[in-house]
Amino acid sequence: MELSSGIIFGLIAMVGFGLSSSLSPVPAKRMSSRDLLFFRGIFMCLIFILLLPFFLSGTTFSSKYILIAFAISVLAFIPMSTFLKALSIGKLGIISPIANSSIIFTVLFSILFFNESLNAVQSGSILLIALGIILVSINFKDIKNSHIFKMSSGIPYALITCILWGLMFALYKIPVMAIGPILTALIIEIGIFVISLFHILKAGKKINMPDRNTMTYILLLSIFTAIGGAFFNYGIMVAEVSIVAALAMANPLIATIYGKYVYKETINIQQYLAISFILIGIVALSFF
């Protein structure tokens, strides 16, 4: 069976987001999250500004939907902040799988807002991918040693991130269908950058310029994020948000494989099982 364009776009988005996540730890360890978001925002905006002239034929300038896209950028900034907050006080082995399970809420919101329907195979495939996403990064030892219901665990912030990411990715479809994938991505990135800049100015903080090597990493992760975002937007133009989002959010698969071969990280049995679940889900979603 031939792969649909929506499936192909979703898979490319998965690779883009996965490579971006894989590169992120390097600058994240060298600079503050505030500075990282600032320079990432500059690169992201420049990338989409440069791309926009080549995609004008599929772009419509509507003030109504540009404002909607900007509103989504405000929404997008909130889970970005809660995720960083969760990571700063919680354990990665708990925070990451909770936040990444946002696919469940994306599916629910897509059904609610856009009346999307999934058959049994598609539903089972998405659940399998979601289970794989959780298992590939969860650390059960961390759960035992955490105070789950306390803010100090970071888990409440991770849950907020999970729900709002799910809502955000579902809402993308509204401006994408009206003004086009590239303009939507540009407006949202401009919004996120403006909000982050406002927070920096309000706090009176100084922006520290990273060294050339770190800046290269920021540029590369921005490029891969832009690839992921653009192809995700194109995917939801031609296919259900639920399906494209499930593929795009399976990006921990790419990050895990990248970590094994680039950072020489060890993959345990649990992660191999998780990878199998994700791959089975992707294949089933793509061909059935």
Instruction: For CA atoms 207, 211, 215, 218, give the dihedral sign.
Output: negative
- What span, in angstroms and rounded, lies between the C-alpha atoms of 12 and 91? 29
**pLDDT higher than 70, residue 192:** yes
Is 170 a residue whose pLDDT tops 50?
yes
Tokens matching residue 41? 């925002």
Confidence of residue 1 (pLDDT cuts 50, 70, 90): very low
Indicate if the pLDDT at residue 3 is higher than 90: no
The whole model's pTM is what? 0.89
The answer to whether residue 195 scores a pLDDT higher than 50 is: yes
| 197 pLDDT more than 70 | yes
Q: Which of 254, 218, 191, 256 is nearest to 16 (CA)?
A: 254
Q: Enumerate residues 6+ apart whose C-beta is below 8 A from 107.
A: 118, 126, 166, 242, 245, 246
Q: Give yes or no for residue 141 having a pLDDT over 80.
A: no
Q: Is the dihedral of CA 155, 158, 159, 160 positive or negative?
A: positive
What is the DSSP code (8-state) at residue 53?
Answer: G
229-254: per-residue pLDDT in tens? 999 999 999 999 999 999 998 988 88
Q: Can you tell me which residue has the tokens 């996965």?
A: 18
